[in-house]
């Protein structure tokens, strides 16, 4: 399930993933949120709080995630993934080398640091 995280700066779109995440979660929550942000600001500042194992993302969810990434490839400015899964955190840090924006991984206890980082526009 994806739920939108409220009370963040207007230029930041944030979701919390918990339990099983399906393609419908991405189609109904993630994609519209990213689309709205890209239309309004022409750039994306994105926060994902991962309270579930990445193995709980269905195959359809990964396809929708790939579609979102490709569709808005040049709009990405900053992306923070907050998780206690070390492999995901390291992948996120490495992703900065191939994406046009910056990507950082944070531990769950560093959620406020991630929000602070995203709050500063490039």
Task: Give the model's pLDDT for residue 86.
Answer: 72
Task: Give the model's pLDDT for residue 27.
Answer: 86
Task: Give the model's pLDDT for residue 110.
Answer: 96
Task: Give the model's pLDDT for residue 114.
Answer: 97
Query: Distance between CA 62 and CA 1 in Å, rounded?
Result: 14
Residue 99's nearest CA partner among 116, 76, 117, 122 is 76
Query: Distance between CA 81 and CA 102 in Å, rounded?
Result: 11
Paired residues of 70 in beta bridges: none
Burial profile 33-56: b = 16 or more Cβ within 10 angstroms, e = fewer = bbbebbeebebbbbbbbbebeeeb
Which parts of the chain sit beneath pLDDT 70? 56, 58-73, 87-99
Task: Give the model's pLDDT for residue 52.
Answer: 83
pTM for the structure as a whole: 0.83
Task: Give the model's pLDDT for residue 51.
Answer: 87
Task: Express each pLDDT in 52-81 by its tens digit.
Answer: 877 767 665 655 565 566 566 678 899 898
Task: Give the model's pLDDT for residue 33.
Answer: 92
3-state secondary structure of 105: strand
| Contact (Cβ atoms closer than 8 angstroms) between residue 41 and residue 13 | no
């Amino acid at each position: 399930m994806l739920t939108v995280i409220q009370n963040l700066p207007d230029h930041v779109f944030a979701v919390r993933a918990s339990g099983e995440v399906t393609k419908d979660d991405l189609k109904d929550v993630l994609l519209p949120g990213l689309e709205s942000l890209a239309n309004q600001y022409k750039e994306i500042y994105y926060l994902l709080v991962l309270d579930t194992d990445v193995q709980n993302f269905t195959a359809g969810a990964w396809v929708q995630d790939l579609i979102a990434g490709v569709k808005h490839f040049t709009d990405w400015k900053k992306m923070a993934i907050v998780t206690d899964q070390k492999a995901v955190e390291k992948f996120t840090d490495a992703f900065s080398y191939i994406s046009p924006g910056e990507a950082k991984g944070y531990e769950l206890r560093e959620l406020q640091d991630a929000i602070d980082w995203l709050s500063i526009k490039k």
